[in-house]
Structure 1
């Protein structure tokens, strides 16, 4: 289940007599799983001409009723304004959204899903959530709750998670 690079790191850690091999293996298993999910996600979105970033923009716009200003999209997606501009450019070229001047304040822009963008967002969101949910169908409700709790505990030991609540 480990990627080749993680196997190589495990072998080197074992060769050096590292004391925490079990913890290293757990981390590398989690990283390998995350990489596999990301790769599968990209494979599922590619036939629609979408990256994960483009999909997130469609999802956010759809969830907001089809319209948001670019700065709010960037904030919700957790990306810079420059990144959101690139994502919007690509989606606009594909005919999935339009940029329009705000009716009340012509200086402000609104990003609006086209009918094609709305349809694609709905279709892919349903497919995507079913696929993600299916990843955990081998776990019963108690196992899912336990996994969530355990991941939350690990999160608290990351630099990002220090001081946060799981």
Structure 2
């Protein structure tokens, strides 16, 4: 069986076990989940790098795939969930590698439209097939019930995370109020 935990996680887990202050089963499960997501991210990056792409550039290819008229950099930034500064760098790289072209808008020449080149269209089509097959392979052997169970468990973790954020926010608000009360008394 492959090593499930990264070295840094093993060190933290060993320290938690030494102190016996926390439920180490939960800590181990969290670290295993983190290690798995890291491994998936790294594998994805290697697969995309073969095509001179990052995950951000990959997303832009798909946003543009069915848009022959193109989209503005502002629209791409919003749809991809990145800043305008980030979108500029991503577009520069895609343009340099021949995946996209920037051109003046048809109705307003001051506006820029970003569209895929023929190379970009071909790459987007091939990558969509390749990427979906790879993602599907990660769940090979899972039944529908297995996937449903996994989804339910992940949703429970999300809820616990949200509950923790709310509690932390309430604690911060309480500390700020105490500080304001002390300032008022001073």
Q: Which has the higher helix share?
A: 2
Q: Aligned in 2, Cα 1:162/1:139: closer, same or farther, shift over 3 Å? A: farther
Indicate whether 1:126 and 2:156 are aligned: no
Contact 1:100 1:111 (C-alpha < 8 Å) held by counterparts: yes
Aligned to 1:5: 8
TM-score (norm: length of structure 1): 0.92
How many angstroms apart in 1 are the aligned matches of 2:6 and 2:72?
40
How many angstroms apart in 2 are the aligned matches of 1:4 and 1:63?
44
CA deviation digits over 1:123-145, x for unaligned, max 9?
01110011001101131110101
How many angstroms apart in 1 are the aligned matches of 2:111 and 2:75?
12
CA deviation digits over 1:94-133, x for unaligned, max 9?
1110111111112211110000000001101110011001
1:30-109 aligned at under 5 Å gives the runs 30-65=33-68, 67-109=70-112
CA deviation digits over 1:1-32, x for unaligned, max 9?
11111111111111111322111111111110
Aligned residues: 163
Runs of 4+ in 1 over 6 A off after TM superposition: 160-163
**Coordinate RMSD, CA, aligned:** 1.8
TM-score (norm: length of structure 2): 0.82
Structure 2 residues without counterparts, runs of 5 or longer: 167-186
Structure 1 residues without counterparts, runs of 5 or longer: none
